A and B are shown apart, each in its own frame.
Chain A
Amino acid sequence: MTLLQLDKVGHAFLGRTVLERIDLGISAGELVALVGPSGSGKSTLAHIAAGLVEPRMGRVNRRYRRHAVIFQEPRLLPWKRTADNIGLGLAGQRVGGDARRRKLHAVASRVALEYGDLEKFPAQLSGGMRQRAAIARALIAEPDFIFFDEPFSALDVALKRRMQDIVVDTVAHSGLSGLFITHDLSEAVRIAHRILVLDRNGRGIAGSRIVPSRPGERDDRFVFETSVEFLAGDRLFAHVNDCDERSLP
């Protein structure tokens, strides 16, 4: 079953077209990575799909129960303790007292946050712990679809791997679905079932590739070799590492 379907979605900022004729569908239990060069409109597309931006054209069909968004920055409320920040994910539901505390502790242990960290303010946490708190905030609502908007691009290599493992564990292994925006092809190869490549000018989806084997079963050698193979041998990925921001028309 298709949980998220975008039909001919287009968007423009101040008359400048950033996205055009985007069609994509994501099935239940599928984690899809969307890659594309910097400035190609990936984040805008994710925000449109998540309902944070109203598209100028086209339709977005959401057939899941509940979604959550994990942003590039943790976006924690600095005046709230970590526990309350994570609890904010439950804002849309009526969950009180004990059930709330139980959910909170369960989700905190899933992302390896310690009990003591929950009483701290975000300013007292390290960058990795903040991003983990943001993941916990998304997971606590028990969504069946998660949008990832380049969530780990500001983290160092070791931490990034750890976070990717959490994503593989919580999404791909738990039967959830997700759209993972990234500019890092090896990250996409590591965690996704399928990789979509956005056209360098945002004119539609340029193509799609299924990554062999399953997320979580891929070792470093596989990730490295597959990414190199994609970049060198597949024309679809020719522009993925372009770093020029799109020039204004």
Chain B
Amino acid sequence: MATARLARTGRFVWSGWAGLAGLSVFAAVWQAGHEAYGSFILPAPAETFASVVALLAEPESWRIVWATAGRALLGFGIAAGIGTMAGTLAGYHPAIMRLARPQITLMLGVPPIAWIVLLMIWFGNGVGTVSATAAVACLPIVFIAAAEGIATRDRGLDDMARAAGLGPIRRLLRIGMRQMLHTLFPALVMALGTAFKASIMAELLANAGGVGEELAVARANLDVSLALAWILLSVTALITVEYGLLQPLRAEIETWREAARPWGVRR
């Protein structure tokens, strides 16, 4: 099993080349845009990269990125926790699902900017507003995925587990929630991205520090290269969390899917 894990990790790292190739295409299009519109509108990728390196040389920038990532992760964590629990409950009880649906539509329907205004009034300009905005933006996604995952579970497995002597708690943890992961994981990946985006937007609008405020400063100075550098940094932070934490976790839990794939389509 250890060798299988090593092989999987090896493949995962090796697939980084494909990711790099994709990013190179993106950089090429970016370069073309730069050559067409000039440095003021769109600085060259190399130029932006140089700004990123310059930013990373300052410990202050690291602190800023960490602050934003921390707030986004806090909001994401809250949404993931509440959303999963509420979603599980709604998945098992159709009546709760029916009651919850309109709230979800409501939450999705209120524009994030309105949330920020409300949350600024409630929490002031700080961590609270930013994390709460991220949480509010993520919650419906996680909730729906969790509820869907439980509602579409294989009920036959439930009966089987009951006949085998598993109690309700063990059935929930080992059978119900295990099947839920199938729909929950893609939603968590999406929610994580949403959390980062919502946090930066909230920081920008609430002047709450972090990457958002740096972006506001860059805008005020019309420093496009700096703005792009901050964007690049926040995207890198997101990718680090997704590929460093979520995807390996998923690979570990979904080993059997790898095994279930027919020969010849492994990679």
A interface residues with partner B (beta carbon < 8 Å) = 47, 50-52, 67-69, 71, 73, 75, 77-80, 88-89, 91-93, 120-121, 123-124, 137, 141, 147
Contact = CB atoms under 8 A, between A and B. Distances in A.
Given A89-B164, A92-B164, A141-B165, A71 B156 contact: yes
A124 B259 contact: yes
B259 A91 contact: no
A91 B166 CA distance: 6
Given A77-B178, A79-B255, A91-B161, 11 more contacts: A68-B164, A69-B160, A71-B156, A75-B159, A79-B254, A80-B256, A88-B164, A91-B164, A91-B166, A121-B259, A141-B165
Interface of B: 156-157, 159-166, 170, 175, 178, 253-256, 259-260
Contacts of B157: 75, 77
Most buried by A among B165, B178, B254: B165
A170 to B, nearest CB: 17
Given A123-B256, A123-B260, A73 B156 contact: yes
A75 B159 CA distance: 9
21 contacts: A52-B163, A67-B163, A68-B163, A71-B156, A71-B160, A73-B156, A75-B160, A77-B178, A79-B178, A79-B255, A79-B256, A88-B161, A88-B166, A91-B164, A91-B165, A92-B164, A92-B166, A121-B255, A121-B259, A123-B259, A123-B260
A75 B160 CA distance: 7
B259 A50 contact: no
B180 to A, nearest CB: 12
Contact of A78 (B164, B165, B166, B256): B256
A1 to B, nearest CB: 23
A59 B164 CA distance: 22
Most buried by B among A71, A79, A88, A124: A79
B160 A124 contact: no
A208 to B, nearest CB: 26
Given A71-B156, A73-B156, A141 B259 contact: no
A50 B164 CA distance: 11
A69 B30 CA distance: 62
Contacts of A50: 163
Contact of B163 (A69, A80, A123): A69
A73 B88 CA distance: 26
A75 B162 contact: no
A77 B164 CA distance: 13
B164 A141 contact: yes
Contact of B164 (A47, A120, A137): A137
Most buried by A among B160, B161, B255: B160
Contacts of B256: 78-80, 121, 123
B165 A124 contact: no
A71 B154 CA distance: 14
A199 B141 CA distance: 50
Contacts of A52: 159, 162-163
B170 A120 contact: no
A95 to B, nearest CB: 12
A79 B180 CA distance: 12
A79 B250 CA distance: 12
Contact of B259 (A51, A67, A68, A120): A120
Nearest to B154: A75
A124 to B, nearest CB: 6
Contacts of A123: 256, 259-260
A227 B102 CA distance: 59
A13 to B, nearest CB: 15
B156 A77 contact: no
A115 to B, nearest CB: 15
Nearest to A147: B163
Contacts of A47: 159
A80 to B, nearest CB: 8
A124 B260 contact: yes
